[in-house]
Amino acid sequence: MSPGKIIALSGGVGGAKLVLGLSHVLPDDRLMVVTNTGDDFDHFGLRICPDTDTVIYTLADLADKTKGWGRADESWTFMKTTRSLGGEDWFNLGDGDLALHVMRTQALARGQSLSDVTASVSKAWNIGVQIVPMCDQAVATTVKTETGSLAFQHYFVRDQCQPVVTGFDFEGIDQATANPIALDALGQGPDAIILTPSNPYVSIDPILKTPGMRPAIEASDAPVIAVSPIVGGAAIKGPAAKMMSELGVPATVLEVAKHYSGLVDAMVIDEIDGHLASAIQDLGMEVSVVPTVMTGLEDKIALAKDVLALVRRLKSAGPS
């Protein structure tokens, strides 16, 4: 039997790190990344897709490795000039980054789909791994807070995740359809579906809630593996742990497992959380306890290999 695809669901930075590791271990045609588009928004009249772009920049080796977002070798003259014009400056857009948003906005205006645009960009920047937005329709994640609802980027960037979260909405998701490219891959007998260590509430959930996506994952025989974004009670990056606390849920890998319960066959958790393995197993999940903190490329490749080892173990044990 020829090997199937590994389909990774990804948000921004955390997910992109594991995806980069996987891309070093798998041939291009065995890896597909389905990206969250709930963070996408219009700013300065341009369509900006932060999670998809982080995956693109990471796989094209164009990402700024220290900042964790945007492009390396970036300049900031546009923002400086925008500020001198009294324009909005809460969302930092690099000059090179802007080229991607301008190109995408024009292509969408010409009637191209977000999938088409993403494929064109990948081709231009020699990305062999297929990057697939969760859907081609606009979905807007809204963060419900004690002081009112906020568009995701207002919560995340402008207000720096300060407001206390009470829930989430994904506006437009009922009118969206899971990307047919992703559905087709899910129907072709993939080897595994990986929920990367991105935020469960605002990165992975929007993908899973896109109509058609979760049923297609459930219909597949492939094992579904989640890599915990929570390590030792904290999020490696972003507001996941803070959100969990504010939602009245302890910020632990056990709670991440509970959140994914019913869909996920196995959890990959960090060694520091090893003591919670048996509680997760009690939920009916397999557990792999490995180092999950990805600092350098070696860490990313090592975690990718650990995840693929788990895939082999689960597959040899038979269909889930």
Q: Which stretch binds its own copies (CB under 8 A): 3-11, 100-108, 127-135, 232-240?
A: 100-108
**Contact between 1 and its own copies per CB under 8 A:** no
Candidates 81, 160, 162, 261; binder of its own copies (CB under 8 A) is 81
Number of residues in contact with its own copies under rule CB under 8 A: 33
Give the integer Cα–Cα distance in Å for 307 and 105: 36
Per the CB < 8 A criterion, the answer to whether 146 and 164 are in contact is yes
Q: Looking at 25, 72, 92, 95, which residue binds its own copies (CB under 8 A)?
A: 95
DSSP string, 242-282: HHHHHTT---SHHHHHHHHTTT-SEEEEEGGGGGGHHHHHT
Q: Which of the stretches 8-16, 17-25, 121-129, 154-162 binds its own copies when contact is defined by CB under 8 A?
A: 121-129
- Subset of residues 40 to 69 that bind its own copies, contact rule: CB under 8 A: 44-46
111 scored as a contact of its own copies (CB under 8 A): no
Query: By CB under 8 A, is residue 92 in contact with its own copies?
Result: no
The answer to whether residue 91 forms part of the interface with its own copies (CB under 8 A) is no
For residue 133, the cross-strand partners are: 35
The tokens for 205 are 């959930």
Which residue from 24, 28, 99, 162 is in contact with its own copies, where contact means CB under 8 A? 99
Distance CA 173, CA 284 (A): 30
In the complex, the smallest distance separating the C-beta of residue 137 from its own copies, rounded to whole angstroms, is 21
Among positions 121, 140, 280, 314, the unique one binding its own copies when judged by CB under 8 A: 121
Q: Which is nearer to its own copies, 102 or 293 (CB)?
A: 102
What do you get for the CA distance between the two ends of the chain, in Å? Answer: 18
- Which segment (118-126, 151-159, 282-290, 305-313) binds its own copies by CB under 8 A? 118-126
Describe the crossing of helices 50-59 and 13-25 by its angle, rounded to 10 degrees: 30
Around Cβ 215, how many Cβ atoms within 10 Å? 12
Q: How many CB atoms lie within 10 A of CB 17?
A: 29
CA distance 152 to 175: 19
Binding site for its own copies (CB under 8 A): 44-46, 71, 73-75, 77-82, 84-87, 94-100, 102-103, 105-106, 109, 120-121, 124-125
